[in-house]
Structure formats: C-alpha cells, structure tokens
Structure 1
Amino acid sequence: MEAMEELSELAESMRQAASLLADDDPSDAAAPRRPTTFLNAVALGNVSSGKSAVLNSLIGHPVLPTGENGATRAPIVVDLQRDPGLSSKSIVLQIDSKSQQVSASALRHSLQDRLSKGTSGGSGRGRADEIYLKLRTSTAPSLKLIDLPGIDQRAVDDSMINEYAGHNDAILLVVIPAMQAADVASSRALRLAKDIDSDGTRTVGVISKVDQADGDAKVIACVQALLSNKGPKNLPEIDWVALIGQSVAIASAQSAGSENSLETAWRAEAESLKNILTGAPQNKLGRIALVDTIAKQIRKRMKVRVPNLLSGLQGKSQMVQDELARLGESMVQSPEGTRAVALELCREFEDKFLAHITSGEGSGWKIVASFEGKFPDRIKQLPLDRHFDLNNVKRVQSLSIYCLGSRWLSTIFDISRERVEILNKVSTGNGKGAITTMC
C-alpha cells in the first residue's frame, strides 16, 4: 500500500509537469486541472465474470453490486482516496465539499436502485449514464476504479470501452472466471485489451472465482499455467493474478467488530489459494498480489512517460533561457551592457510608438484623427482675435499644428525626458532599476 501512495504522489508531480508544458499554472486553484490517468483501473469482462467483486476486493468493502440482481448496466466510477486516520470499517462519501459517513450496504443498495431505474432497457451511452462516487477509506489504495458493464451485453459497444480504457495510461483489468480459463484464448475482453494495449504494458489478467473450480483438475491446471506464463502461445504476455470470489463480502459478514478482519481475510484468501493452486507462484495469489501487480504496471507506464516529460521540460527551460538572453540577462552584468539594454528598449518603444501612429494600429488612429480633423478645427474656433494680436495668434496656431497638437507634443516631450533620465541612471550605476521602471 505504501508503494501505491508513492506512485500517487509521483502521478501528481507528473500531472503538474504536464500542466507546465501546456502553459497552465499548476498552483492556480481556478485553472482547469488536467486529470492524470496513471491511477485509473478499468475492469473488462463478460457479465457475471466477477468484475465488481474484484473491484470490491481493491476497495476493501462490498460497495459495488454483484450477482445477477446487481449486474452492472452503466459505467460506475469509484474515485478512492486513502485516509489512514479512518478505521477499517469506515467509508466516507464525498459530495462536492461535504462529507458523509456511510455503510457499504447503503451504498450498494443505492447503486442497485440507480442501475435498475436509470438504465433498464436502454442502450449504454457512456458518460451520459455514468455513476460517480468519491470515497475515503483506510482500506483502499488511491486509485480511480471504473466498473464497465459486461462487454457481452448488447448495450456495450467499442466506443464506450475506448472512452474509458483508451487512455494510454489507464490500467486494464481483464477479468476471466476460473471455469473459463481453458477458453481464455477466445476471450473477447482479452482481445479488446490487446487492441487497446498492444504491448501489454498496462494490462493485468485477473482469474476470478478460483474457489468455484476447486476439485476440477483440468481447470486448475489451466489456471496454474496462466499464472506461470505458460498459457497459449497466441496470448499477449501479461501478468496474471488469481482471486477467490466475494472475499470482501465474506470478510465483512464474518467480522465481529475486529479492526483486523480485512487483513485476516486477505491472509486467509492467500492461504486458500495456495491450497487450491499448489503449483502456482505464491506472489500471484490474492488481493495483496493484485495491488502489487497494479503498482508495478503503473510504474512501468510512468517510466515510459517520464523521459518525454523531462525532454519537454528541458525544451521549455531552454526557451526561457533564450528569452532571458534576448532581454539582456547576460549583458546587464556591466554598466556598458546595462546602457546597451536601456538603449535597445528605448528603440523598441519608439519603433512601436511610431508604428502605432503610421499604421493606426491600436489607438494610433485616434491621434491621427485628432491631428487631421478635430484639433485644427477647434484651434480655428478659439476667439483668440478678441484677446491677442491677430498676427501673433496665427504664428502660434501654425506652430501648434506643425507639432501635431499640444497633447502629442507633451507626450513626445515626456518620452524624451524619461529617456534622458534612464540614460542618466545607467551612467551612474542604477541601470537595473531604470530598466525596471521603463518596462
């Protein structure tokens, strides 16, 4: 579980790095968050294959409906947050900013009602029918579990599967009942996983309901072959884990207020599997093995993605360094360099100002319009002949028009004065402050 927490922290760091590469501010709470899919686990399998029971095992509580009456008819997303401060019996449901402690049975019955009322007879519409839960518990790793309807249902098409499983970092949990292990090569869930994840770096095979195959030598031999990577040659090379059915529900029913009931159930599950699958690797048996295998696959995906992120961040850093150099970072180490930067910035400002005037860009057209239209007309309307000698008035008027108007003249004068002040500061050693003031 500790390894999964470390991966959760690393996934968040990688999300922040991706945000930086996209020019987002990861520290801005108001900015849209780019969700990471490293910690997503999508269950694929037929109806009654045991998908929901497998996810319940990861959650540590029988939250998801199972069996025929609880068949998943719409995507269920369970966003888990591990809280070690809670007891192993506690489940906290989070809705927006509010938290409410609930029981597993209450959640399960609520989901059953929503599934039966909301999607009966209808076709699956992906996220339009999605049921979302955000839970805090001490028994689960920080994963986002996605329980899809059985892929052999008519309502489920490839578009729904790709919508959830097509993300190139989500872990695919292909759930195969032990009784169907002999026919695993024809499994549609496995074929879909191979189409989505051709190299098998994010796929985990889960053999469920092994306890139901106890005593069937042929089935047990097939299961042990898969766990030992000795299955059919045409199968993708993926890791397999074996589980018994309804282990969480059994542990919950048998617990009598003990805080260690779930840990006891995990150990009992592993021992039971060892007795059934005597020839299988012991590190591939039980819920603990499943969590470790998922963590290993997440680590693989991160190793694939980290070099690309580092390369992108290095490129971004080089762009920043080039921009700083262009603005004179290396030049301001000496008075001469500071003076050169100040002059360059003055030239850029003057060029931009003249471009606005000559092209009318921005508000430059207003200055031109005032000079060519309103200003001369208003000068002529002034009753200056009543108060001054007419010849002197004509001289002032001509001079004012020639200088583009008193306001423009004042602006040019201010620019020139500021430029002189900047150069004076540069020459006296205050160049950096001058540049900051001018910018």
Structure 2
Amino acid sequence: MATMENVIVLVNRIQRACTVLGDHGGDGAAASLPALWEALPSVAVVGGQSSGKSSVLESIVGRDFLPRGSGIVTRRPLVLQLHKTEVGEQEYAEFLHAPRRRFTDFALVRMEIEDETDRLTGRSKQISPVPIHLSIYSPNVVNLTLIDLPGLTKVATEGQPESIAQDIENMVRLYVEKPNCIILAISPANQDIATSDAIKLARDVDPSGERTFGVLTKLDLMDKGTDALDVLEGRAYKLQHPWVGIVNRSQADINRNVDMIIAREKEQEFFHSSPEYAHLASRMGSEYLAKLLSQQLEAVIRARIPSITSLINKTIDELESEMDHLGRPIGSDAGAQLYLVLELCRAFDKIFKEHLDGGRPGGDRIYWVFDNQLPAALRKLPFDRHLSLPNVKRIVSQADGYQPHLIAPEQGYRRLIESGLSYFRGPAEASVDAVHNVLKELVRKSIGETEVCFLVHFNSNLPLKNFVSYVFTVVILFH
C-alpha cells in the first residue's frame, strides 16, 4: 500500500510537470506529441451549479478553502492534489504558480484561487481551460488527485456569452472522455435524478458506468417523508460502483465557520441515527468517499503502469530524436562559443581521419600516387643516357678539368648528382600536386559533412553559419 501511495505521489508530480509544459488535458490534445496527461489516471468532479460540488471537495479535504458565490464560481479547472502527512504535522497548501510560498491560512488559499482565476479571465465571467494546481499537505487526507471542473449550466446570466453553457460542457467533456478519467458525478438528492446534469454527461461518455462514481448530496434537505434509497441502492440509476451519500454543511454552518472535522462527525451521526440510511451508514459520508476514490485511483494506476511507462519512454525517444534534429542550443558567452569551436574541430578531425584511414575514397588515392604514379614517372626518366660513360666523362671533365685526384673527382660527382636530381623535380612536384588536390577535396568533403552535422538544423541562422565558416577557415589554415 505504501508503494502504491508513492506511485500516486509520482503521478501527481508528473501531472504538475505536464501543466508546466502546457499539457493539461483541457486543450483537446492538440500538441504534436502524445499528451501524457491522457495516460495519467485522475478523478474529475462533475456537477451542475449549486449541486454541492464545492462542499463535497471541502469535506474530503477537511478545510474551507474554495470560492463561493452565485453563478459560475469555478471558472478554471482546479487540480487538487492531496498528500497525507504524519499525524501532528502542520497543514499547508502550495500552488504550482507560487512554489516558494506556503499557505497555512486557508482563507488566503481561497483568495489566491480567485486572484489566479482573474489573472487569466479578468473579472468577467469567462472560463479558461488552463488549470490551477493546488497541493494540500495534511494528516487528515488520503493521497488523492481531484480535478474540480466548472459547474454545468443551462442558461447564460448577465455578463456571460450566450455560448457559455456549451463552452463549459465542451471543457468538461475534454477531461471526462479520456478512458483513464474517473468521473465523480455530483447530484443533489432534492432533485429528480433523471434531471441530473452530471449523470446525463457521465452516461454519454461512460455508458456502462464503469468509470462513474455517483455522489448524492443534500440528503438532509429532502422533503419530510421522502428518501433517496432508490438512488443509493442502485434501483433508480444503476452504476458499476455503489452510490455514496453526503451531508454537507448547511449555509448556517458555513456562516458560523463550523469546523470541518465537527461537520464530518455530524455527517456520520446523521447516517447512523437515520432509520432510512442506518443500514448504509458504513459506506456513506465524505471520509468513506475519499478512501473509496483513493483505492480506485490506486487500482487504475496499477493497471495503467505499463501503458504509462510505454508512453513516457516513447515520448522521451521522440523528444530526443527531435533534439537531435534541432541540434544543441548555441551559447552567447565566450566559453560556450569556445566549446562549439572545439566540437567543430573534433568533428572535422574525426571525419577527415575516416577519409584518410580507408573505408572511404581518400587514403587509398594518396597511396596510389606514391605506389603507382611516382614510380611510373621515375621509371620514364632518361637515367640510362644521363649516366652513360660518355656523359659522365663530359660532366666530370667540365667540372674538374685536367687535374690529379686522390680518390675521385669531387666536383664532377657533385655536378653529376645535382643534374640527376633535377630530373626528379618534375615527377615529385606532380606527385605533390596530386596529393594536394586529393587532400583539398577531402577537406572540402569533411567540412561539408561536418557542416551537415552542425548546420542542417539551423538553415535560417545566418550568424551561426558565418561563425562556423570562420571556424572552418581557421581549420583549413591549420591543416
């Protein structure tokens, strides 16, 4: 169990990273890469306006922290990540957009949610699909991630566009249509379940009810003589998972700031003391709902671990491939540019050596010059005439004249050797020119291949091209 709780925490961290990178599940998965968010299990809270959705979340957390009011209060998805801490540790909250600030006053959490919503939508009643990430650390919660979505509505009120109802439904559908999404459908007990907006939407995207958890709120506000047993026992609308009844704080309790822990105790007292619901009391209430959702989230994560791992590995491979295609970022400081110069020189040196060492046309052509071209040219030299006896006598006599020699005519031999060496100049220079042409061609090829490695990803980067051209000019001079 501890291991699975750690996995839930890891999934929370991945979701936070996804949001930072712009993948938050509410954009229709328009990104070119696969949306990792879609593979991550989550619990989406869906309900109509005034269905008690906010009260359910606050009961699960045990804190009063969500904005309240009439009309559309939730105008951005709220990704609520609960982290269970050790007993006795102080409760606090953190926002992803303000990671260095800890909120211990949950009234300030409510104000921050309102301010962060207004930052994107203004003070109008517009909505935005970009989520707010809120993490709450408390010993009174279970490890769980909930996504609070805007309440479904039917009619636009003053200040709202006429399309607001459809806009909200489209946003909610983007989350709940995903196969890894657990749907927490909130319906008030004092309304006919057949008219529930949450159940209607859940039935559209999850006809079998496998991903849907039904929650019935406001059981204490039903008319006297009526009850919700048909719904809670699955006769009115059957789901794969049992319905859970919730008794939220009354408006009077909210006005008196009744402690949430006391409210949970009163909720349990209601179910145990009620003759209609006493036999269901063990699986009713916000505490039971939180544990049930945590267990279900663990089960879904356990089942999805292989696909999540596969998608992460696939995404990493695609990103690395794209990075290879784009190339490294070009630094502006002297150290980064020097590193680039050295990398260019190393790459050029490696490719140039590959051409010389064989396996590619280069070294073998140079070898052919010295092994075939030069010997063939030397064999054609007129040494038989140059070293003939008459020619040797003529050169010796011209150099030394008639004088006695102890050993040999030194000046004559020197002149004979020098005139013989002059015959080698032509073939030697031709061989040097041939090798030089081969080397120049290899340098051009090596530079071209090195440029491809470094510049094919920066076709429009003219300063970089000029810089690299300068580097290769230096390389050629040194070679």
Same fold by TM (over 0.5)? yes
Q: Which of 154, 158, 175 matches 2:186?
A: 175
- Name the SS for the 1:298 alignment partner: helix
Q: Provide closer, same or farther for how the CA distance between residues 37 and 243 of structure 1 changes in structure 2, counting only shifts above 3 A.
A: farther
Q: Provide closer, same or farther for how the CA distance between residues 306 and 144 of structure 1 changes in structure 2, counting only shifts above 3 A.
A: closer
Q: Which of 396, 399, 402 matches 2:428?
A: 396
What is the Cα-based RMSD across aligned positions, in Å? 4.8
- Name the SS for the 2:134 alignment partner: strand
Aligned residue for 1:239? 242
Post-superposition shift, 1:140? 2.8
Residue deviations 1:67-101, cap 9 Å, x none?
537x5240241432425257576323345441323
How many Å separate the matches in 1 of 2:272 and 2:356? 79
Aligned residue for 1:75? 76
Residue deviations 1:266-300, cap 9 Å, x none?
34422312323435523320112101221243244
Post-superposition shift, 1:241? 0.8
More divergent stretch after superposition (49-58 vs 395-404):
395-404
Aligned residue for 2:93? 92
How many Å separate the matches in 2 of 1:388 and 1:165? 95
Post-superposition shift, 1:205? 0.9
How many Å separate the matches in 2 of 1:134 and 1:11? 13
Q: Which one-letter code corresponds to 2:247 in the other structure?
A: I
Q: Which one-letter code corresponds to 1:126 in the other structure?
A: P
Q: Which one-letter code corresponds to 1:398 in the other structure?
A: A
Aligned residue for 1:420? none
Query: How many pairs does the alignment contain?
Result: 323
Post-superposition shift, 1:64? 0.6
Residue deviations 1:304-334, cap 9 Å, x none?
424656889999xxxxxxxxxxxxxxxxxxx
Q: Provide closer, same or farther for how the CA distance between residues 396 and 131 of structure 1 changes in structure 2, counting only shifts above 3 A.
A: same
Aligned residue for 2:43? 41
How many Å separate the matches in 2 of 1:283 and 1:388? 115
Post-superposition shift, 1:208? 1.0
How many Å separate the matches in 2 of 1:202 and 1:353? 65
Aligned residue for 1:435? none
Asked if structure 2 preserves the Cα contact closer than 8 Å seen for 1:4 and 1:142, the reply is no
- Name the SS for the 1:49 alignment partner: coil
Aligned residue for 1:430? none
Q: Provide closer, same or farther for how the CA distance between residues 268 and 409 of structure 1 changes in structure 2, counting only shifts above 3 A.
A: same
Aligned residue for 1:428? none
Aligned residue for 1:142? 143
Residue deviations 1:40-83, cap 9 Å, x none?
322111110011111111222111123537x5240241432425
Asked if structure 2 preserves the Cα contact closer than 8 Å seen for 1:80 and 1:140, the reply is no
Q: Provide closer, same or farther for how the CA distance between residues 288 and 227 of structure 1 changes in structure 2, counting only shifts above 3 A.
A: same
How many Å separate the matches in 2 of 1:351 and 1:239? 73
Residue 293 (1) aligns with residue 292 (2): yes
How many Å separate the matches in 2 of 1:254 and 1:387? 117
Q: Which of 196, 207, 218 matches 1:209?
A: 218
How many Å separate the matches in 1 of 2:284 and 2:249? 15
How many Å separate the matches in 2 of 1:243 and 1:50? 9
Asked if structure 2 preserves the Cα contact closer than 8 Å seen for 1:57 and 1:247, the reply is no
- Name the SS for the 1:144 alignment partner: strand
How many Å separate the matches in 1 of 2:7 and 2:251? 25
Residue deviations 1:90-132, cap 9 Å, x none?
32334544132331223224445666895555443422xx444
Scaled by the length of structure 1, what TM-score is found?
Answer: 0.58
Post-superposition shift, 1:230? 2.1
How many Å separate the matches in 1 of 2:128 and 2:361? 58
Q: Which one-letter code corresponds to 2:214 in the other structure?
A: G
Q: Which of 271, 274, 279 matches 1:273?
A: 271
Counterparts of 1:87-236 in structure 2, within 5 Å, are 87=88, 90-94=91-95, 95-112=97-114, 118=121, 121-127=124-130, 130-153=131-154, 154=156, 155-156=164-165, 157=167, 158-180=169-191, 183-213=192-222, 216-218=224-226, 220=227, 223-232=228-237, 235-236=238-239
How many Å separate the matches in 1 of 2:432 and 2:176? 74
- Name the SS for the 1:79 alignment partner: strand
Asked if structure 1 preserves the Cα contact closer than 8 Å seen for 2:61 and 2:140, the reply is yes
Scaled by the length of structure 2, what TM-score is found?
Answer: 0.54
- Name the SS for the 1:190 alignment partner: helix
Q: Which one-letter code corresponds to 1:79 in the other structure?
A: L
Aligned residue for 2:257? 253
Larger Rg over CA atoms: 2
Q: Which one-letter code corresponds to 2:426 in the other structure?
A: K
Post-superposition shift, 1:190? 1.2
Post-superposition shift, 1:38? 4.4
How many Å separate the matches in 2 of 1:225 and 1:390? 116
Q: Provide closer, same or farther for how the CA distance between residues 396 and 249 of structure 1 changes in structure 2, counting only shifts above 3 A.
A: farther
Aligned residue for 1:417? none
Asked if structure 2 preserves the Cα contact closer than 8 Å seen for 1:92 and 1:135, the reply is yes
Aligned residue for 2:5? 5
Asked if structure 2 preserves the Cα contact closer than 8 Å seen for 1:48 and 1:67, the reply is no
Asked if structure 2 preserves the Cα contact closer than 8 Å seen for 1:63 and 1:104, the reply is yes
Post-superposition shift, 1:211? 1.8
How many Å separate the matches in 1 of 2:54 and 2:355? 68
How many Å separate the matches in 2 of 1:90 and 1:237? 35
Residue deviations 1:205-251, cap 9 Å, x none?
111122222x6333x1xx2222222224xx54343111111289959
More divergent stretch after superposition (299-308 vs 50-59):
299-308
Q: Which one-letter code corresponds to 1:393 in the other structure?
A: R
What runs of 5+ residues in structure 1 fail to find an aligned partner? 16-31, 256-260, 316-348, 359-363, 372-385, 412-439
Asked if structure 1 preserves the Cα contact closer than 8 Å seen for 2:39 and 2:308, the reply is no
Residue deviations 1:376-402, cap 9 Å, x none?
xxxxxxxxxx99944312222333455
